[in-house]
Chains A and B, each alone.
Chain A
Amino acid sequence: MLNVTRLSSGYGEVNVLNDITFSVGNEIFAVLGANGAGKSTLLKTLAKLIPVTQGHIEWQGRDITRAPAYSLPAQGVAYVPQEHNVFSDLSVAENLSVGALTGSRTRDEKLDEIYELFPRLADRKDQFAGSLSGGEGQMLAVSRALMQDPSIILLDEPSAGLSPLFVDTLFEKISEIRQQKSVTIVLAEQNATKTMEIADRLLVLSLGEVHLLKPVKELDMKQLMEAYHI
């Protein structure tokens, strides 16, 4: 369970998020919003990469508001940034090994599973990650998060820059992972229609504030449109 209470954060002097409150259970929790609404900022704040200016973050009963970023993987939190999300000077296999120390399974066990899930990565395991295509890079970034055996994955816009066909495959994989491992997923997305197919609940951000917080089933499309038209 992730509890976020009255959270504010931003970059130095610039405040981006204001008074955000929500909690995430064992589900796919989508964060939607227009460009610049603050989706990435929210995920970065949850990953502790930018400081919280106000409010609290609680994960599995523990207050992590002031915890350093590097302490989160050991607590089951994995984060996949929107961009710059692979180590371009390391090979695919090396990328997967960095941060594979958490969890009880051995690295090889996890690697086998990843290569089964994404056979394309197995073919390219010695290639430098910097020379992967956009889609392959996303697969790698998601896979590296899975190597941590996380309880929650903060996934920032995995569909960015991918062809519609590939987005379909990726989202299928995400729900597959969700079902197999019952891992919680916080998914920031631009692509509302696609996201609504797999998400359980939605948080819509608008100018850094909560515009809407609802189960997908009860969603009123008009409200959703409003958030994007500001």
Chain B
Amino acid sequence: MAYLIFSISLLLIYMGLAQLLHVQFGMLGIPNFGVVGFWGFGMYGVAVFNVQFGWPFLFALVITCLLVAILAYGLGMLILRLEGQAILCATLAFSAIVTLLVITEKWLTFGVVGLGTIQYPVRIGAATEIIYFMLLLLIIGSFQLAINKLHQSRLGRLTIAIRDNEELAASLGKDTFKTKLILFTLTSCLMGMLGGLSAPLNQFLTPNMLVPGVTFAVWIALVLGGKENTFGAMLGVFITFGLFDILVETYLPVSPEYAVMVPNFKLFLYGAVLVAVLVYRPAGILNNRQAHTRWPNADLS
């Protein structure tokens, strides 16, 4: 039971990451391949402040979020004027640096030995995990409401215009760089917050939690669900993380001799599902509209 709550709490965290990536890529067109970097920085930040410095959890979380925001702002200043591929590489490199620092800066993180134990902010006996789960549910729910609001707002329309044709949006009087920078900073900071909130879930942190696989799982979820709406991304998380990581890896009875194959089999299945979706539902599982052609003025008549 405890393990189930742990699993679905983590599932919620991944859903949150997918929602935030939906804003970054689905709405603004920023290909952030460093999701695990922001998330991992948040997780380790809270752990270091909490365990090493003895700061209260909430205070550690707030300071960590501020740090992630500053980091995202700086990174955004450097990369958001660049082309898509360059942003992709830069964010991927950023996350690799975060992982590397966690491994090498042993005085802070204990490196590969691992860092723990991170306690829940408040302990209410056996109900702690469930209450924490409810809290996460509340957070993911409010993300969803906020994103829905964003979609219907003038700002949401602007993000789609920027994704579509940034130069044109600029010539219509929009400071596109500033818009991207602000939203990128905010959403990356929230990724860090989700990381911080994952720290007590995991209790004991090791650098091998900060693998690119986290980023890929969220990305695949986004592609599966379709970049047009967040429900799609959340459904995608159910398929990638929920189905594979939780169900297959932990609940499916596999004999020990095949157990080593499971992680690879998971990646294989990710790939297979991805290809199937791209072929049959190019705009995502929930989207039966054809993937939108990017040829302006395409004469379809």
**Contact, CB under 8 Å: A128 / B172:** no
A79 CA / B171 CA spacing, docked (Å): 7
The number of residue pairs between A and B whose CB atoms lie closer than 8 Å in the complex comes to 99
Given A88-B164, A89-B160, A90-B157, answer yes or no on A134-B299 (Cβ-Cβ < 8 Å): yes
**Contact, CB under 8 Å: A130 / B165:** no
Contacts of B296 in A (CB 8 A): 83-86, 88, 129-130, 137
Given A70-B170, A74-B173, answer yes or no on A133-B164 (Cβ-Cβ < 8 Å): no
B163 within 8 A of A: yes
Which listed residue, A94, A98, A132, A138, touches B172 by the CB 8 Å rule?
A98
A residues contacting the other copy or chain, number (CB 8 A): 37
* CB-contacts of A93-137 with B (<8 A): 94, 97-99, 101-102, 128-134, 137
**Contact, CB under 8 Å: B292 / A130:** yes
> Which A residue's beta carbon lies closest to that of B173?
A73
> Which B residue's beta carbon lies closest to that of A77?
B171
**Contact, CB under 8 Å: A90 / B297:** no
A87 within 8 A of B: yes
**Contact, CB under 8 Å: A98 / B157:** yes
Could you name 25 residue pairs across A and B whose Cβ atoms are closer than 8 Å?
A70-B171, A70-B173, A81-B168, A83-B297, A84-B296, A87-B160, A87-B164, A87-B169, A88-B292, A88-B293, A88-B298, A89-B163, A89-B292, A90-B157, A90-B161, A90-B164, A99-B172, A99-B174, A128-B292, A130-B292, A130-B294, A130-B298, A131-B298, A132-B297, A133-B297
Inter-chain pairs besides A47-B171, A74-B173, A130-B296, 11 sampled, C-beta below 8 Å: A68-B170, A84-B296, A85-B297, A88-B298, A89-B292, A101-B173, A130-B293, A131-B298, A132-B297, A134-B299, A161-B297
